Structure 1
């Protein structure tokens, strides 16, 4: 069981949930310190004046008994050992006067609070260990002095009161623990219900995407693939255009299916390899087929290997920036520059639009995705218009 303050941990069968509740642990500390200080102030003069213990010994006995009480919060073994030593020395040094013996009243109170705290915080076994230590000390003291006097009755009373306190503290600890376990079980059920609802919602969204988007992309792919065979006399450049459309739709369909598998939480899904920096050239070539002039510059030409996450992010930045230029600035010249040095620097700049963009020009969510991807890797990104009414996306990604 974890001993840390405010730590929520797993409890053994003998542990108590007070050890897991920060509020209860705070009250335990407050009780231990308050009772400990009070008992030092009370036990010291009683041991000195009533039981005729030397004043220095009285202070040491009072301090060690109270210290054992405070240690009971976090160190049950040390508390039991130190408390036992203090209680035994008190029985040895305190004179068997008419006052309660072998334990003076302040020592008995400190002992009972130690048993309570050990049983509540660490379980009934530690409380029983402290009580058994005290009962054994009382028995040995009575045997040394001899039975048949008031001290025997005092020792029996001390042991009986300690047993009652132990039983009450142990019962309270079990009650608190059972309530805490019940609350944890309810919380776990609520979390499980929320996870199940979230999974159902994700499956619903995945199904909608499959039924609408994936189906439409499949239709586009089939129509673009079969168009050269259905339409006679098609020029070669038109056939190439349809081939490019078919290829782009198949690529989009493959990525869509991969995303659907992730959305459904299918761990065993056959996911396609993620694109990387090496695929940027093919991406730009595919985008050029739309008729947009795109200039690509990569330096050095043999870009060093980058982590997969960096390569994927670089690809998505170029992909979204180029798509953004095609949507918002149709016909504009687009420049893509990639520089690899200490960082991987990406710049996609487009000029002013040659004609008005279409009605569905987008809502800017793709640019937000660029920011999120780059910042997730610890990179920097600047997105905004240029002085010549164009638009620029500049990102810097860490290579290592």
Structure 2
């Protein structure tokens, strides 16, 4: 076996590898530089504070070093940086950007949902500051006691600290709003996808149920007539071929909606203008279908037109499957300018026993009608016949 020829992994700087592993070093390095350099310069203008020594610089570097773990252990980083900052204050070292790593840790904890830990850290450090400033004896530190009034400085420090923490809260609130908006959009997309899948399943059910019912009837007729009347059997086989071809075309058209958004369907969706095809298919299987229209036909929206077509198709399929009748009547009532009434009736009676099918045809018709804002009723009549009646709204905007 030949040795592996896989190319070596690309080289990345240590800080990039650490960031990919969940240990971001960039911000920690910047914070360390700012704290060390800024505190060194700030010490020149603060008389009476303890000078920075090895311990002071160690504390200034320890806080930023802890920031490397701020993503994985935000609560622990807040606690440790608070302890480091409190120790820095208690030692009397100069004020300045020494609090940067501590504030970053608190803001990260707020942003990740650990608000209590962040505010506890702020309260702890500020309490240490108050103890050092007002409670402990003035000479216990290496720093000289403050001269003059310290209240203005305390007010400025308190206001500045609250301002920084309020900024962290605002950032947290914005992140939560963005996350909520993203989750809402994802829910809408999932709901839209579910509706599209349901619509596609309904379309496939109507197409296949109708076509397979006709094919089943014609196949039975062909088998019965194959030996005695081969010409009629041949006619049934021709009907099977044409019906299956039409069904395949409609299935391809439905499945075309799964393609990219830039690709258009190969043909228009079926509507009432293809009602003659339904009656011809029904005639081929021995179902004599008459169509009557009351009022003047008007234009419909694509949704209502498709719904009306599928309701008639499913109703005729149910007649073929479940009724002993060999005739059916389709009525389109256009007299109401706001509603199209579709009726499909057969004289019955129903075929005893299981006629096949999933039993979801009427459910699908009701779902279609409801999706178009309409209603549908279906059931047997006192004289033994069966009627499907749908009322579909046709607003003026759709009929123009």
Task: Classify the TM-score, shorter chain.
Answer: 0.3 to 0.5
Give the alignment's TM-score, normalised by structure 2: 0.46
Give the alignment's TM-score, normalised by structure 1: 0.46
